[in-house]
Amino acid sequence: MPPPPLPPRPKTPRIILYHQTHYTSSKEYISILPLLTENTGTTHVILAAIHLNNPPGNIHLNETPPDDAIFETLWDEVLVLQDSGIKVLGMLGGAARGSFERLDGSEQSFEAYYCPLRDMVHKHKLDGLDLDVEEEMSLEGIIRLIDRLKADFGQEFLVTLAPVATGLINQRHLSGFDYQMLEVLRGGVIDWYNVQFYCGWGSMADPQCYDLIMAMGWPPEKVVAGVVTNAANGSGWVGIDVLVVVFMELVQKYPGFGGVMGWEYFNAMPGGLGRPWEWAENMANAMAMGRAW
Protein backbone atom coordinates (compact mmCIF):
# COMPACT_ATOMS: atom_id res chain seq x y z
CA MET A 1 0.00 0.00 0.00
CA PRO A 2 1.48 3.40 -0.97
CA PRO A 3 2.02 5.94 1.82
CA PRO A 4 -0.71 8.56 2.28
CA PRO A 5 -0.21 11.86 0.45
CA LEU A 6 1.64 14.67 2.13
CA PRO A 7 -0.67 17.00 4.10
CA PRO A 8 -1.18 20.46 2.62
CA ARG A 9 1.46 22.99 3.61
CA PRO A 10 0.72 26.56 4.69
CA LYS A 11 1.11 29.27 2.07
CA THR A 12 3.27 31.35 4.40
CA PRO A 13 5.96 30.26 6.90
CA ARG A 14 4.65 29.10 10.25
CA ILE A 15 5.05 31.27 13.33
CA ILE A 16 4.84 28.98 16.34
CA LEU A 17 5.03 29.67 20.06
CA TYR A 18 5.24 27.18 22.89
CA HIS A 19 3.23 28.15 25.95
CA GLN A 20 4.35 26.44 29.14
CA THR A 21 4.41 29.19 31.76
CA HIS A 22 0.72 29.97 32.23
CA TYR A 23 1.06 32.13 35.35
CA THR A 24 3.64 34.67 36.47
CA SER A 25 5.54 34.22 39.72
CA SER A 26 2.94 36.47 41.31
CA LYS A 27 0.15 34.12 40.15
CA GLU A 28 -1.17 36.41 37.39
CA TYR A 29 -2.61 34.54 34.43
CA ILE A 30 -0.73 35.02 31.15
CA SER A 31 -3.25 35.41 28.35
CA ILE A 32 -2.52 34.07 24.86
CA LEU A 33 -5.34 36.10 23.31
CA PRO A 34 -3.01 38.97 22.28
CA LEU A 35 -1.47 36.58 19.76
CA LEU A 36 -4.81 36.94 17.98
CA THR A 37 -6.03 40.41 18.91
CA GLU A 38 -2.71 42.11 18.14
CA ASN A 39 -2.65 40.55 14.64
CA THR A 40 0.75 39.00 15.28
CA GLY A 41 0.66 36.50 12.44
CA THR A 42 0.92 33.55 14.82
CA THR A 43 -0.14 30.33 13.10
CA HIS A 44 0.27 27.74 15.88
CA VAL A 45 0.44 27.61 19.67
CA ILE A 46 1.80 24.51 21.43
CA LEU A 47 0.72 23.97 25.04
CA ALA A 48 3.46 22.46 27.15
CA ALA A 49 4.04 20.07 28.65
CA ILE A 50 1.89 16.93 28.86
CA HIS A 51 3.37 14.18 31.04
CA LEU A 52 2.22 10.57 31.38
CA ASN A 53 2.84 9.42 34.93
CA ASN A 54 2.28 6.21 36.87
CA PRO A 55 -0.24 4.70 37.11
CA PRO A 56 -1.86 4.82 33.63
CA GLY A 57 -4.30 7.71 33.38
CA ASN A 58 -2.29 9.93 35.72
CA ILE A 59 -1.74 12.76 33.23
CA HIS A 60 -0.42 16.20 34.06
CA LEU A 61 -0.13 19.45 32.14
CA ASN A 62 3.13 20.53 33.74
CA GLU A 63 2.52 19.68 37.42
CA THR A 64 -1.29 19.71 37.41
CA PRO A 65 -4.06 17.55 35.94
CA PRO A 66 -5.34 19.23 32.75
CA ASP A 67 -8.93 19.32 34.06
CA ASP A 68 -7.95 21.34 37.13
CA ALA A 69 -9.73 24.67 37.60
CA ILE A 70 -6.42 26.49 37.16
CA PHE A 71 -6.66 25.78 33.41
CA GLU A 72 -10.27 26.88 32.83
CA THR A 73 -9.32 30.24 31.33
CA LEU A 74 -6.57 28.66 29.25
CA TRP A 75 -8.95 26.14 27.66
CA ASP A 76 -11.48 28.91 26.99
CA GLU A 77 -8.81 30.96 25.23
CA VAL A 78 -7.71 27.95 23.22
CA LEU A 79 -11.19 27.73 21.72
CA VAL A 80 -11.09 31.43 20.80
CA LEU A 81 -7.76 31.02 19.01
CA GLN A 82 -8.98 27.92 17.20
CA ASP A 83 -12.19 29.62 16.09
CA SER A 84 -10.03 32.32 14.51
CA GLY A 85 -7.80 29.89 12.62
CA ILE A 86 -4.83 29.50 14.96
CA LYS A 87 -4.07 25.82 15.49
CA VAL A 88 -3.38 24.70 19.07
CA LEU A 89 -1.38 21.56 19.78
CA GLY A 90 -0.22 19.89 22.95
CA MET A 91 3.42 19.05 23.60
CA LEU A 92 4.06 15.58 24.96
CA GLY A 93 7.26 14.92 26.86
CA GLY A 94 10.15 17.35 26.95
CA ALA A 95 12.86 17.47 29.58
CA ALA A 96 10.83 15.47 32.14
CA ARG A 97 11.51 11.85 31.28
CA GLY A 98 9.12 8.91 31.38
CA SER A 99 6.22 9.62 29.02
CA PHE A 100 7.81 7.97 26.00
CA GLU A 101 9.29 5.12 28.00
CA ARG A 102 5.75 4.30 29.09
CA LEU A 103 4.56 4.38 25.46
CA ASP A 104 7.43 2.19 24.25
CA GLY A 105 6.56 -1.03 26.02
CA SER A 106 4.33 -4.00 25.29
CA GLU A 107 1.02 -3.60 23.45
CA GLN A 108 -0.82 -3.95 26.75
CA SER A 109 1.31 -1.27 28.40
CA PHE A 110 0.99 1.02 25.37
CA GLU A 111 -2.79 0.79 25.43
CA ALA A 112 -2.93 1.49 29.16
CA TYR A 113 -0.98 4.75 28.83
CA TYR A 114 -2.08 5.81 25.36
CA CYS A 115 -5.86 5.57 25.73
CA PRO A 116 -6.13 8.16 28.54
CA LEU A 117 -3.88 10.47 26.49
CA ARG A 118 -6.14 10.00 23.47
CA ASP A 119 -9.18 10.81 25.59
CA MET A 120 -7.55 13.94 27.02
CA VAL A 121 -6.63 15.22 23.54
CA HIS A 122 -10.17 14.53 22.34
CA LYS A 123 -11.80 16.22 25.34
CA HIS A 124 -9.82 19.43 24.94
CA LYS A 125 -10.13 19.44 21.14
CA LEU A 126 -6.44 19.82 20.45
CA ASP A 127 -5.47 20.16 16.79
CA GLY A 128 -2.43 17.95 17.16
CA LEU A 129 0.42 16.66 19.30
CA ASP A 130 4.05 17.72 19.28
CA LEU A 131 6.22 14.76 20.27
CA ASP A 132 9.24 16.12 22.13
CA VAL A 133 11.22 12.93 22.71
CA GLU A 134 14.09 13.78 25.06
CA GLU A 135 14.72 10.23 26.25
CA GLU A 136 15.57 6.90 24.64
CA MET A 137 12.75 5.56 22.46
CA SER A 138 12.77 2.90 19.77
CA LEU A 139 12.01 3.66 16.14
CA GLU A 140 9.24 1.06 16.27
CA GLY A 141 7.77 2.75 19.33
CA ILE A 142 7.58 6.24 17.85
CA ILE A 143 6.10 4.82 14.63
CA ARG A 144 3.44 2.96 16.61
CA LEU A 145 2.49 6.17 18.42
CA ILE A 146 2.34 8.24 15.21
CA ASP A 147 0.29 5.60 13.41
CA ARG A 148 -2.16 5.36 16.26
CA LEU A 149 -2.65 9.13 16.49
CA LYS A 150 -3.37 9.38 12.78
CA ALA A 151 -5.70 6.37 12.92
CA ASP A 152 -7.65 7.73 15.89
CA PHE A 153 -7.83 11.41 14.91
CA GLY A 154 -7.54 11.40 11.13
CA GLN A 155 -5.04 12.79 8.65
CA GLU A 156 -5.92 16.41 9.47
CA PHE A 157 -4.65 15.92 13.03
CA LEU A 158 -1.20 17.50 13.24
CA VAL A 159 1.70 15.30 14.33
CA THR A 160 5.02 17.10 14.77
CA LEU A 161 8.30 16.25 16.45
CA ALA A 162 10.83 18.46 18.24
CA PRO A 163 14.35 17.15 17.64
CA VAL A 164 17.49 19.07 18.48
CA ALA A 165 19.22 20.30 15.32
CA THR A 166 21.95 17.64 15.46
CA GLY A 167 19.25 14.97 15.29
CA LEU A 168 18.59 15.84 11.65
CA ILE A 169 22.23 15.40 10.64
CA ASN A 170 22.82 12.06 12.39
CA GLN A 171 24.91 13.46 15.20
CA ARG A 172 24.42 13.03 18.94
CA HIS A 173 20.90 13.91 20.05
CA LEU A 174 18.27 13.09 22.68
CA SER A 175 15.70 10.76 21.16
CA GLY A 176 17.35 7.39 20.58
CA PHE A 177 15.87 6.68 17.14
CA ASP A 178 17.14 7.82 13.73
CA TYR A 179 15.19 10.85 12.47
CA GLN A 180 16.24 10.36 8.87
CA MET A 181 14.94 6.80 8.94
CA LEU A 182 11.73 7.99 10.60
CA GLU A 183 11.25 10.51 7.80
CA VAL A 184 11.78 7.78 5.20
CA LEU A 185 9.23 5.51 6.88
CA ARG A 186 6.61 8.02 8.06
CA GLY A 187 7.46 11.37 6.49
CA GLY A 188 4.15 11.39 4.67
CA VAL A 189 2.22 11.71 7.93
CA ILE A 190 4.64 13.86 9.94
CA ASP A 191 3.60 17.47 9.40
CA TRP A 192 6.88 19.15 10.35
CA TYR A 193 9.76 19.23 12.82
CA ASN A 194 10.13 21.95 15.49
CA VAL A 195 13.93 21.86 15.46
CA GLN A 196 15.79 23.14 18.52
CA PHE A 197 18.65 25.41 17.41
CA TYR A 198 19.75 26.26 20.96
CA CYS A 199 21.26 24.91 24.19
CA GLY A 200 24.35 23.79 22.31
CA TRP A 201 22.49 21.70 19.73
CA GLY A 202 22.56 24.34 16.99
CA SER A 203 22.37 28.09 16.50
CA MET A 204 20.36 30.70 14.63
CA ALA A 205 23.01 33.39 15.02
CA ASP A 206 23.63 32.79 11.31
CA PRO A 207 22.15 30.46 8.64
CA GLN A 208 24.98 27.90 8.69
CA CYS A 209 23.34 25.23 10.86
CA TYR A 210 20.07 25.42 8.91
CA ASP A 211 22.05 25.28 5.65
CA LEU A 212 23.75 22.09 6.84
CA ILE A 213 20.39 20.43 7.46
CA MET A 214 19.23 21.48 4.00
CA ALA A 215 22.42 19.99 2.52
CA MET A 216 21.42 16.66 4.11
CA GLY A 217 18.33 16.67 1.89
CA TRP A 218 15.63 17.73 4.34
CA PRO A 219 12.72 19.62 2.73
CA PRO A 220 12.68 23.23 3.97
CA GLU A 221 8.89 23.25 4.42
CA LYS A 222 9.26 20.63 7.16
CA VAL A 223 12.14 22.18 9.10
CA VAL A 224 10.92 24.90 11.47
CA ALA A 225 13.78 26.86 13.04
CA GLY A 226 13.36 26.89 16.81
CA VAL A 227 14.92 29.53 19.05
CA VAL A 228 14.71 30.61 22.67
CA THR A 229 12.77 33.86 22.97
CA ASN A 230 14.57 35.17 26.04
CA ALA A 231 18.05 34.54 27.46
CA ALA A 232 16.35 33.29 30.64
CA ASN A 233 14.70 30.44 28.71
CA GLY A 234 17.86 28.58 27.71
CA SER A 235 21.36 29.04 26.38
CA GLY A 236 21.96 30.14 22.83
CA TRP A 237 19.62 33.13 22.84
CA VAL A 238 20.00 35.33 19.75
CA GLY A 239 18.85 38.95 19.77
CA ILE A 240 15.79 39.87 17.77
CA ASP A 241 17.68 42.14 15.37
CA VAL A 242 19.99 39.30 14.36
CA LEU A 243 17.12 36.83 14.05
CA VAL A 244 15.19 39.13 11.72
CA VAL A 245 18.15 39.31 9.34
CA VAL A 246 18.78 35.54 9.48
CA PHE A 247 15.15 34.64 8.87
CA MET A 248 14.85 37.15 6.04
CA GLU A 249 17.77 35.37 4.39
CA LEU A 250 16.34 31.89 4.96
CA VAL A 251 12.94 32.84 3.54
CA GLN A 252 14.63 34.28 0.48
CA LYS A 253 17.04 31.36 0.10
CA TYR A 254 14.61 28.47 0.62
CA PRO A 255 11.19 28.78 -1.04
CA GLY A 256 8.72 27.04 1.24
CA PHE A 257 10.82 27.77 4.36
CA GLY A 258 9.06 26.00 7.22
CA GLY A 259 8.93 28.89 9.65
CA VAL A 260 10.11 29.78 13.12
CA MET A 261 9.31 28.44 16.57
CA GLY A 262 9.89 30.18 19.89
CA TRP A 263 10.43 28.69 23.35
CA GLU A 264 8.47 30.21 24.98
CA TYR A 265 5.68 32.79 24.93
CA PHE A 266 5.34 34.32 28.41
CA ASN A 267 8.51 36.45 28.47
CA ALA A 268 9.39 36.61 24.78
CA MET A 269 11.58 39.53 23.80
CA PRO A 270 11.57 42.31 22.81
CA GLY A 271 8.31 42.89 24.71
CA GLY A 272 9.11 40.67 27.67
CA LEU A 273 6.51 39.94 30.33
CA GLY A 274 4.47 43.02 29.49
CA ARG A 275 4.15 42.46 25.73
CA PRO A 276 5.40 38.96 24.82
CA TRP A 277 3.40 38.86 21.60
CA GLU A 278 5.81 41.34 20.02
CA TRP A 279 8.18 38.45 19.31
CA ALA A 280 5.64 36.96 16.90
CA GLU A 281 5.06 40.35 15.27
CA ASN A 282 8.78 40.67 14.61
CA MET A 283 8.95 37.18 13.16
CA ALA A 284 5.98 37.86 10.88
CA ASN A 285 7.67 41.03 9.65
CA ALA A 286 10.89 39.10 8.98
CA MET A 287 9.00 36.51 6.93
CA ALA A 288 7.24 39.22 4.93
CA MET A 289 10.43 41.15 4.27
CA GLY A 290 12.22 37.97 3.23
CA ARG A 291 9.56 37.19 0.64
CA ALA A 292 9.78 40.73 -0.71
CA TRP A 293 13.58 40.80 -0.69
The amino acid at residue 217 is: G
Question: Is residue 252, in this structure, part of any structural domain at all?
Answer: yes
The predicted pLDDT at position 110 comes to 98
Question: Is residue 137, in this structure, part of any structural domain at all?
Answer: yes
The predicted pLDDT at position 176 comes to 86
Domains: count for the chain: 1
Question: Is residue 132, in this structure, part of any structural domain at all?
Answer: yes
Question: Is residue 2, in this structure, part of any structural domain at all?
Answer: no
pTM: 0.94
Question: Is residue 275, in this structure, part of any structural domain at all?
Answer: yes
The predicted pLDDT at position 95 comes to 85
Give the bridge partners for 58, in sequence order. 53
Question: Is residue 6, in this structure, part of any structural domain at all?
Answer: no
How many other β-carbons are positioned within 10 Å of the β-carbon of residue 1? Answer: 3
The predicted pLDDT at position 11 comes to 54
Q: What is the CATH number of the domain that holds 226?
A: 3.20.20.80
Question: Is residue 27, in this structure, part of any structural domain at all?
Answer: yes
Question: Is residue 66, in this structure, part of any structural domain at all?
Answer: yes
Chunked mean pLDDT (size 10), the chain, 293 residues: 44 89 95 97 98 97 97 98 98 94 97 98 98 96 98 97 93 86 97 96 96 97 98 96 96 95 98 97 92 76
Domain assignment of residue 176, given as a range: 14-292
